[in-house]
Structure 1
């Protein structure tokens, strides 16, 4: 937690070989005079501080012993310039260079640092998140035959993805995601990346098919081709020839075919993302050998096949996978009943399908945090086993044919942030116990047959005090962290970064008559209460004016009467207020409220 500016007297430490001030709160401008005299310096890490202004990389030019430079910036107030003075020549030979999110050469047109032309011993190079422009810098890999890790993620490099320039076979991790690269995936990719373990080509404009030669990358562990314009069928070799493959992400392309209907050797896969394509057919087969093999040896913890055209039943063994934590099969044409099982789900989304019958009550609810069953054909009451959803943050069972009373025990789910019960056949009154959901941010009970008065104790729902809907960290196959193990031993070692890969939560909520999706961390600030289209009577409780955090309040299409409470003028954050189609007889001015 050190803060303040770097003391200029650091430049007196002429014998210093390691200078690591990362993960502090240092501020101000980094003066060249702090660096210039450190002639013995080999390792420097200024990452994760709050520096500002402009820093000239040429300050290191005379540090001939320099091997490792790490500079991961966390704000937009710092610019690293490498092109001034023009023509400077480095005396160092770097092995590791990490300049991430540093606004590299912003004043010079965001060009690739020219001093890299003089570097040919690099083993790791990370220039991600810098908006660098121009053609893909093939020469970086050609000049550095020992390069193992290259991350150019989130820049503006264009042109085709070509590997004909490779003259080395040491590359293990390559991330060129989030750029403007076009063209096909090279058909002879295995010739140039024989030892690749992590390959991320996502969020570009690649088109064509996945060549079957990708199945010859025998050491591949992580493959991300998502968010491109790739098409065709997925080569069977991806599932049969890659024994080390743990993460496969093909989301948001235009793939088709019955990818899951075949006999697949996917027992080593940990995370499989096939969402937002045009896949068809059934999920797996029901042969006894396959069921035994998958449930006994399968390692899969995440399966996302949402937004496709899958049909048929969900295999019974899905709910018994021993490591399955996240199952997302939203928006397909799957039907029948959903089988019970022992899978330790934390995220289960089977919404927008044709599942019918009672809601399965014998699932393992203990660890569930997000449960989405909406837009199906479930019937009957809310099962009593929902009482076990003690860790749940999201419960969405709207748009079904459920009936009966809203159970009082739902109020005991103290962690609940989102409760969606809309468009069912629930009747009787709104239980006062729901007022115990003090952390809730979205409650939708609309389009039911609820009667009685609006509980005044809803004022207790003050909203969340801390955030839980974190934005998903995208899969980053080249994510490594360089650290020194010992000053007297190795100068740096590589270890994988811990990255959040959890599925983003998403719910539909009506605002200003529009049903809109709210996804990810926006759910931490969105707040609404929708009781519309019921048979509620009586007056609007004045206490609703205490819901200071609320953005959407919809009480329309009920049989409410009496005056509109003046206290509603206290709803300082309100964006949408709907009291229409009722029996209200007096309207007071809603001071300071913009509708």
Structure 2
């Protein structure tokens, strides 16, 4: 809390308390008595700041209020009251509030000198405040990003040549973008309208924004072609993202006029035709045309774009071989050509030390995997799945020390799984399923930690945008660009970094009998092994049970023999364990009930015997299909109950005692006591009842006589035979 003595500093003009851990409600703080304040900087604290600023309405000299990354406190706003101050800078972004109906601050209606307004990331509701633009003709920066504002995006009737940044992304604005937007904001540097509900065509007047450097219209419902005037007029563009719309037609060759363009995102639209050769003149760092209908062969001229770091062309209709010219891209870090119709061999010339992620899956690539990527020491991801690749896994793969993801499923690979894979200490996802691998499972797999890491993430950040000089008469400046001439407005030190989150690594991995696409933070925490549908034989190495970090293990549809290792009880993180369709024998280790995270389990179609783990822990949820095809298995959830022998064996497993089902010591004691009781009861009956006693003695005498003569006759017959 601020000490009350702050209220005595009545001559204070500039107060900077930012980047601390101060708290308290600003409406009741001693700062409300500092009427000489001109600048109040409170960003990055724990203050409760009322968005209405009613407690500061008497501060006639107040010009700057910056309170980003705090909390919006409760305070009633009296619309009849007019503040005495005229703010030039109002920044109250990313402030948490427990209100779901927080409205746009009404006191801004009485402000006519604003140069910067940033109230982004606050979940504000209501319609677009057109009066804010009408009243503040010198407004430079307007950021309403990530709120809940609705309705159409309205523009003032008069131009605003001072506006440099307009960011209304992440709201619910709908309708069409005003066709005169290029006339109202002729000197914009940044226009971000992404993630809204805009529809119709992109206004051609955007081509009049000759100073525009960043344009983001992604995640809307725009349709039709890209205006050619946009490509011709916005010659200063360095960042253009039109992703996730319904744009159609061909990609205009006129894009070659954007000589400063570094980031081009046209993904998730309906573009068709071929890539125009004119794009080869651009100095792109990122080219993303994925999820369209672009056809033809991959152009070799891409190899001349030596600054390319990211190539995203997945889910199109490209055909033919991968051009060897791609190997010239020494700075390439991310290559995704998946889900096309590419054919031929994987070029062996890929030896760039900078490349990190390679996705060539879902194509028609064929032939052996020889030397492609053998010197790519920075590789994190290799996905060659769903092709017709053959031969063996090259032994040099053990040199890829940074490799996290190796996906080779649905190919024709054969031979043994090389032990060199065990040298990949960073490996987290290994999928060799649906191939022709044979031989044993390498015991050295237990040497791989299979710990997920954050190397899966991949981001690129554009150049920052800075409004320089808190009270110097400067304009918005893009770092690395020349300062515009002339004196304009005063602004805060506001850094605007545009994250290119659209470039992200993602892979498909099968677990829990389903194929999932893992990306973003989910991929960071996923790890697993899939060796299913091969010709692997021999026993499961006991060391496999010590892979305690994996979430999925699939060894199904092989020729594995032997028993299920009891060490599998150490797979504490495993959620899916599939050992079905093998030739495993013996019992199911009762220790598996310790796997508390297990959601899917299958040992179907083996030669297992004995009792199932039964109705215990996670095994209570597994159905009969998890055990079917093992006629010697019994117990829940199977219909055949276990025999006593099976029960004895089950209890031996559970109790670990050599005595089996019956306690022999107790048996001997109970038998002796029972025998003595029966004997004494018989004697007592004979003593009490004389008739039964006579009958008993007669019976004994007859038995003794019969036995005597039987023995005597038998003895005589033996003597006669000997004499003969």
TM-score w.r.t. the length of structure 2 is: 0.74
Bigger shift: residues 415-424 or 89-98: 89-98
Relative distance call for 1:237 and 1:571 in structure 2 (3 A) is same
Q: Is the 8 A contact 2:194 2:220 kept in 1?
A: yes
Once the two structures are overlaid, the 10-residue window that deviates more, 456-465 or 150-159, is 456-465
Residue 63 of structure 1: aligned partner: 59
Distance 1:86 1:540, change over 3 A: farther
Q: Whose helix fraction is larger, Structure 1's or Structure 2's?
A: 2
CA deviation map 1:189-223 (0-9, x unaligned) = 22212112211111111111112222222222111
2:320 to 330, 336, 339: 336
Shift of 1:410: 1.9
* Aligned pair partner of 1:428 in 415, 432, 456: 415
Query: What does 1:199-238 correspond to in 2, within 5 Å?
Result: 199-238=191-230
2:402 equivalent to 1:402: no
Alignment of 1:177-188 (within 5 A): 177-188=169-180
Looking at CA atoms only, which structure, 1 or 2, has the larger radius of gyration?
Answer: 2
1:98 aligns with 2:91: yes
Distance in 2 (CA, whole Å) between partners of 1:394 and 1:568 is 28
Deviation per CA, 1:398-425, whole angstroms, max 9, x where unpaired? Answer: 1111122212222222222211111111
Distance in 1 separating the partners of 2:369 and 2:78: 71
Which residue of structure 1 lines up, in the alignment, with residue 604 of structure 2?
none
Alignment-derived partner of residue 588 in structure 1: 589
Q: Which deviates more from structure 2 when the two are superposed, residues 41-50 or residues 137-146?
A: 41-50
**Native 8 Å contact 1:46 1:71 kept in 2:** yes
> Which residue of structure 1 lines up, in the alignment, with residue 105 of structure 2?
113
CA distance in 2, matches of 1:195, 1:491: 17
CA shift at 1:228, angstroms? 0.8
User: How much has 1:155 moved relative to structure 2?
Assistant: 1.1
SS of structure 2 residue aligned to 1:386 = coil
Match of 1:241 among 233, 236, 239: 233
SS of alignment partner, residue 181 of structure 1: strand
Q: Which residue in the other structure is 1:345 paired with?
A: 332
CA distance in 2, matches of 1:436, 1:221: 46
The 10-residue stretch of structure 1 (196-205 or 253-262) with the greater mean CA deviation from structure 2: 253-262
**Runs (5+) with no aligned partner, structure 1:** none
**Residue deviations 1:145-190 (CA, integer Å, cap 9, x gap):** 1111111111111111222545533222111111111111222222
Match of 2:13 among 12, 17, 20: 17
Contact 1:440 1:463 in 2 (8 A): yes
Q: Give the distance between the partners of 2:554 and 2:147, measured in 1 at CA.
A: 43
Going from structure 1 to structure 2, the CA distance change for 1:464 and 1:573 (only over 3 Å counts) comes to closer
Whether the 8 Å contact between 1:175 and 1:476 is mirrored in structure 2 is no
Distance in 2 of aligned mates of 1:374 and 1:469: 17
- CA, structure 1 residues 7+472, in 2 after alignment: closer, same or farther (shift >3 Å)? farther
Is residue 134 of structure 2 the alignment partner of residue 142 of structure 1? Answer: yes
Aligned counterparts of 1:437 and 1:476: Cα–Cα separation in 2: 36
SS of the aligned residue for 1:203 comes to coil
The Cα shift of 1:364 comes to 5.3
Quote the Cα distance in structure 2 between the aligned partners of 1:322 and 1:302. 11
Instruction: Please say if residues 394 and 419 of structure 1, whose CA atoms lie closer than 8 Å, have aligned partners that are also in contact.
Output: yes
Residues in 2 aligned to 1:349 and 1:384: alpha-carbon distance in whole angstroms: 19
Rounded to whole Å, the distance in 2 between the matches of 1:353 and 1:226 is 24
The residue number in structure 2 matching 1:372 is: 359
What is the aligned partner in structure 1 of residue 499 from structure 2?
500
Spell out the pairing of 1:129-528 with structure 2 (5 A cutoff). Answer: 129-166=121-158, 168-260=160-252, 264-285=256-277, 290=278, 294-295=280-281, 298-341=282-325, 342-343=328-329, 344-363=331-350, 365-464=352-451, 466-470=453-457, 484=470, 492-494=491-493, 496-501=495-500, 503-528=503-528
Tell me the distance in 1 between the aligned counterparts of 2:274 and 2:323. 16
The structural deviation recorded for 1:428 is 1.6
**Paired residues, what number?**
576
Instruction: Measure the CA separation in 2 of the matches of 1:108 and 1:558.
Output: 56
The 3-state SS of whatever aligns with 1:237 is helix
1:551 matched to 2:551? The reply is yes
C-alpha contact 1:471 1:521 (8 A) present in aligned 2: no
Q: Larger relative CO (CA 8 A, sep 6+): 1 or 2?
A: 1
CA distance 1:11–1:417, shift in 2 (3 Å): farther
Tell me whether 344-353 or 575-584 shows the greater mean CA deviation: 575-584
In structure 2, the partner of 1:127 is 119
SS at match of 1:141: helix
CA deviations on 1:49-74 (whole Å, 9 max, x unpaired) are 45579787334333333222222227
Q: CA deviation at 1:443?
A: 1.4
Aligned residues of 2:148 and 2:171 also touching (Cα < 8 A): yes
Q: C-alpha displacement at 1:308, in angstroms?
A: 0.5
Are 1:138 and 1:165, in contact at CA under 8 Å, matched by a contact in 2? Answer: no
Separation of aligned partners in 1, 2:410 and 2:324 = 25
Moved more, 250-259 or 22-31: 22-31
Distance 2:565 2:341 in 1: 43
**Given that residues 57 and 81 in structure 1 are in contact (C-alpha distance below 8 angstroms), is that contact kept between their aligned partners in structure 2?**
no
Alignment deviations for residues 440-487 of structure 1 (CA, whole Å, 9 cap, x no partner): 22111111111122223222332447523448699999x75777489x
Cα RMSD over matched residues?
A: 2.9
Corresponding residue for 2:34? 38
3-state SS of 1:121 partner:
coil
- CA shift for structure 1 position 311: 0.5
Return the alpha-carbon distance in structure 2 between the equivalents of residues 388 and 81 of structure 1: 60
Name the structure where strand makes up a greater proportion of residues: 1
Task: Pick which of 365-374 and 95-104 moved more.
Answer: 95-104
CA distance in 1, matches of 2:62, 2:451: 49
CA pair 15-569 structure 1, distance change in 2 beyond 3 A: farther
Give yes or no for contact 1:480–1:494 (8 Å, CA) kept in 2.
yes
Seen in structure 2, the aligned counterparts of structure 1 residues 214 and 20 have a Cα distance that, compared at 3 Å, is same
Which SS does the other structure have where 1:69 is aligned? strand
Give the Cα–Cα distance (whole angstroms) in 1 for the partners of residues 178 and 333 of structure 2.
38
1:583 aligned counterpart, secondary structure:
coil
